[in-house]
Structure 1
């Protein structure tokens, strides 16, 4: 269940625009007097302060908000969980084209792509597996029931993103199965103000061309945005040229989306969003390399064609002068993939994952000034999920459905403006597995003189076996219907420290344990006896040491072992990033330098008949990118970037090729 809550400290656009109820709505940090007035009317400040702001005509700074951590909009100063926010502005500064590239800069996050652009891309949080991260786009859960209940980030372009929130640690108490490592919430911008049309086109290395066009606008009563993006590249060989492979593997992506809303009255708001992506990716197959004594990729005439369809509609009713809110919504996703041999042309296997969700959430806001000077939020939610996976192949086929009904309760309170606590519990009634109850508690305390925020959290998680793990069948895999859900618990502690008004520093220690971990064994999957242990530290810093210069950096150390004491694969112990952005020439020009470091890690390889697997080491690598832009006027901007300027040769997954040095240039128009 994932809903944006209109509460008494929401910005005014939330109360008047239907897209705001979708949980991925952005609350601007600077807003107009009418925004402040609406928030004040909900009880954030006194009536006297309301009058002063109404007549002043000035702008007011509002605290940065998280819409992911507590199911309701919460100022970051009151959030006890570890959460990182990437803004759309930061993404555009670096000219990032895929969301997965932006996530490489988040503490605690590891990204692995099986080859060049367009190939299968996994994201892991705090050492958890890729399918232990729950992903939302505009309030729609997009984990694919037919792809191991995992979201493939290969298809997610970064155009029109407003912000990304990464919530770390077990979150099943709020979000149910799959949220063992954390939650990634991708928020697309909404329409507002005068009708605005924007377009861009660029081209560059590896036969790449991509572009985007959008139109948006809105008033106090309605808002809308529609956008279309395209990306195409000749690419390089998915199987590494270092293994003797030379055939280029191309990739194409076409994405369209629209969202909007209408406020029928001051208390009733309707909104909807729809997103569609069609893609095609050339693939290479696996073979046994006698030279290396294990499997690896090799050139082949294969590809995969896929489609993704995501939609959500919801209604929001606000009663009791904003103190009681009710939200009801329906979401549906359909993701399908067809794998083909191209000589002769035939479909060898296809997978179709469908998910439907019906949810309701009720939020009650009240204060007790005479009792601990406290504000309170009570939340109750219920949701019904139906997950369906359809698999057809030359080996076998299956069509299976699992339904789950979840009940969520949460209490959130703030005392004396310094101490904030939350407690949540969830009970999942599952049609196949044993019912599960999960819980979570957080606390945050702000030391007023220094602005230091101390925070900590503890939570439990659950990860149900995927439909493919239960019923899947291929030439080298057999499903195991006796699998049990994985169970997890984790805690973290840390602080966020303002740095003399010109930056912030955050530090977190985390500790997670997973039992009944599902892992491959021979040609099937089993629950690994014992407990897998993961712990580490996360460090982030953002500073503005001088006007127009911003420096952001992050570092993560992760130590993860399964119950046998073996190092977890594709989880490097050390990950670091650096981003430096400088604006000059009267804000017309911009220069950005980005550095991503990925430490040594292990990966799986198999013997000739896939009956055994073992690990090998992958070397560390450093990627350096430079991006720049120049604005001719308010309507025209030229930009360009150089990627992997060190021309690093590396593996993210053993044997799969990665892009070398490349340059790109483009133009952006706005009307």
Structure 2
């Protein structure tokens, strides 16, 4: 690991300033055009369609967006989208997961080129490890769908889908290197990232290869001071980490063979080593939180074109090892999760209908001697069939409807139908609306009676409940998109009605452990609801000044208690003004607002609202060299409520960054 030292701060600040005022005599800024109706996306239908006609509320993060600011993980790339929140886990020292429309982060399905990425059985606390498994240097774009997509993608897509599309190689070899460094004020350390990506043809027009490597790291940060009293006695708050130390190595690659013009085979692989270290403050006092997660993935994919249409067949294996994770509790052993999937689909065209059909088989195996106290192992088989029809009724209307039938080893069969209508009223106005249902089975650990995990910061245990029901939801949405030459706006309303939401039942102990601790289990909340409003807008103030903004209003309710759901802010907004100062330089100012959120139902404790501001620039030396610099949280906004900060809620302090990207 590295630490920030005082002597580099002043030179770095001078470098930032010098970049802002310098003007090269050669360079041309390749201004990124706004998303247009003709931008193509694939996630909403598994077939290529335009952004405007996609049967979903969908946003796209482009490569230009990714290059404009430094980031540590996927959540940094998508957190400014309406309806999307990078939600902090209050208790895991700065870990953040992606929540869509107020639903639990576990309902956000992460895909890489359509392949599911999940480690929910191996990592059941503060799991943001999936978000750091993708080298950003390999990413071409990120497609974000807000709303259930279980009809196509199955369990875990109850809230939405984030699909990372990686760069495709060409005959010409292209490489890219990037590096970013940032430091926090008051000598509180900082973070860095370094990455490399290369791709090209081993045999022109036939055999291609790509490889991406990234290394990221962050120093621990401690913002608290003074003495506090926990159930284990008095402790020094300055020892608690507000943000945990982290270090991540991510590698991914691809070999693509075009057998002929009609058929190709691809082999994909990736490896991630993600290590975290911190000390958590809680009602008990101080608790160590040390984790290391290793992941390796392999996939073989076949694509073919035939007289009747196209087909894809894929085998995917994803192995996750939570190394020494159990030692934080009792020092027993590692946790290993292996997920295997065989997937296939075909698409055919019949008149005005685009018919997509397919199925998948998956097998998940968990090896956890620490928690699975009898056998040490658990596994589950799942199968599914799905069908979807995109019916172009006429030039103005497209109806997409379909369903998925999941066969779960423990929970039987479940249907997840969905229907969505897109009305292209004029060239400027598009109306959308749909309804969909979703199904999500409990995890292996939630249902196994032999599963016993230490919780409550060591003060209790939690055991699995075999009587849990699957979580299901019905979701509705309507939206309108209007585009003019100089401005555009998208407005949408949504509602999610959820049944049998799974949560820990901390009100009713089901037993006492041999050492006298209470034992709790999981329960189904009868009903829960999230609903709200999303707004996204763009305005060209002048030829060189652009405004972009996003706003989300969220209302939630636990129908059993009548209270709102925890960790869901009621308002979120961000506005970014970009000034294209010259053909080779742009600067931006962004203001971010996050409303208050209930964080403890029992004590009716709220995390207060807060506002931060970011300033940055991008500067092209020439067509191949880019510099970026800026400052985040300019005013150094912080929480000052003791009860909020002791639950590890925090705002990252003011930090200065400087980075570069070079293509060759």
Q: Same fold, TM exceeding 0.5?
A: yes
Is residue 2:640 matched to residue 1:667?
A: no
What CA deviation, in whole Å up to 9, does each residue of 1:274-333 have, x standing for no partner? 221101110224542xxxxxx5x63x554111112233221111011xx51111111111
SS at match of 2:416: strand
Distance in 2, Cα, partners of 1:470 & 1:435: 18
2:62 match:
87
Q: Does 1:547 align with 2:543?
A: yes
- In the alignment, structure 1 residue 433 sits paired with structure 2 residue 426: no
| Contact 2:72–2:193 (CA under 8 A) maintained in structure 1 | no
Bigger mean CA deviation after superposition, 262-271 or 240-249: 240-249
Q: Which residue of 2 aligns with 1:536?
A: 532
Is 1:177 aligned to residue 177 of structure 2?
A: no
CA distance in 1, matches of 2:262, 2:213: 32
Partner of 1:579: 576
Residue 474 (structure 1) aligned to one of 420, 442, 453: 453
1:44 alignment partner in structure 2: none
Instruction: Report the Cα offset of residue 614 of structure 1.
Output: 5.0
Give 3-state SS (helix, strand or coil) of 1:546's partner. Answer: coil
| Aligned residue among 182, 198, 205 for 1:215 | 198
Q: Distance in 1 between matches of 2:658 and 2:110?
A: 31
CA RMSD of superposed structures (Å): 2.8
Contact 1:235 1:250 in 2 (8 A): yes
Partner of 2:51: 76
SS at match of 1:465: coil
For residue 148 of structure 2, give the secondary structure of its aligned residue in structure 1: coil
422-431 vs 199-208, which deviates more? 199-208
How far does residue 652 in structure 1 lie from its aligned partner after superposition? 8.9
- SS of the residue corresponding to residue 416 of structure 1 reads coil
Count of residues paired in the alignment: 585
Is 1:144 the equivalent of 2:119? yes
Cα distance in 2 between the residues matched to 1:583 and 1:310: 41
Alignment of 1:516-531 (within 5 A): 516-522=500-506, 523-528=519-524, 530-531=526-527
- Bigger shift: residues 656-665 or 271-280: 656-665
What whole-Å deviation, never above 9, does each CA across 1:112-155 have from its counterpart, x for those lacking one?
A: 23479985322111121111121112322112241359764552
Aligned to 1:319: 306
Is the Cα contact below 8 Å between 2:240 and 2:281 reproduced in 1?
Answer: no
Greater displacement, 196-205 / 544-553: 544-553
Runs of at least 5 residues in structure 1 that lack an aligned partner in the other structure? 1-28, 31-60, 289-294, 368-374, 606-612
What does residue 18 of structure 2 align with? none
Cα distance change on mapping 1:666 and 1:451 into 2, 3 Å = closer
User: Deviation of residue 562 (structure 1)?
Assistant: 1.1
2:250 corresponds in structure 1 to 255
Quick one: which of 177, 192, 197 aligns to 2:170? 192
Taking the TM superposition and a 5 Å limit, the aligned residue runs for 1:301-380 are 301-320=288-307, 323-339=308-324, 347=331, 350-367=334-351, 375-380=352-357
**1:15-57 CA distance string (max 9 Å, x none):** xxxxxxxxxxxxxx99xxxxxxxxxxxxxxxxxxxxxxxxxxx
Q: Distance in 2 between matches of 1:653 and 1:496?
A: 43
TM-score (norm 2): 0.82
Secondary structure of 1:245's counterpart equals helix
Name 1:16's counterpart in structure 2.
none
Aligned to 1:406: 384
1:382/1:72 CA distance change after superposition, 3 Å: same
Q: Hey, what's the Cα distance between the residues in 1 that align with 2:405 and 2:646?
A: 37
2: CA distance, partners of 1:109 / 1:629: 25
Note if 1:277 corresponds to 2:266: no
Matching residue of 2:648: 655
| CA apart distance, 1:220 | 4.2
Mean CA deviation greater in 345-354 or 462-471: 345-354
Once the two structures are superposed, what CA deviation does each residue of 1:442-489 show, in whole Å capped at 9, x if it has no partner?
A: 0001112x5210110101111111112112312321111111101110
Question: For residue 463 of structure 1, what is the aligned residue in structure 2?
Answer: 440
Distance 2:37 2:104 in 1: 36
The normalised TM-score by structure 1 is: 0.81
| Offset, 1:242 | 9.4
Does the 8 A contact of 1:66 with 1:74 survive in 2? yes
Query: What CA distance in whole angstroms lies between the structure 1 residues aligned with 2:412 and 2:371?
Result: 33
| In structure 1, C-alpha distance between the alignment counterparts of 2:108 and 2:179, rounded to whole Å | 33
**Contact 1:302 1:341 survives alignment (8 Å):** no
- Residue in structure 2 matching 1:639, options 628, 632, 635: 628
Cα–Cα, structure 1 residues 531 and 272, in superposed 2: closer, same or farther, change >3 Å? same
In the alignment, the residues of structure 1 paired with residue 623 and residue 39 of structure 2 have an alpha-carbon distance, to the nearest angstrom, of 28
Residue in 2 that maps onto 1:122: 97
Report how far residue 655 of structure 1 moved. Answer: 2.7
User: Which residue does 1:111 correspond to in 2?
Assistant: 86
Please list every run of 5 or more consecutive structure 2 residues that lacks an aligned counterpart in the other structure.
1-31, 184-188, 229-236, 455-460, 507-518
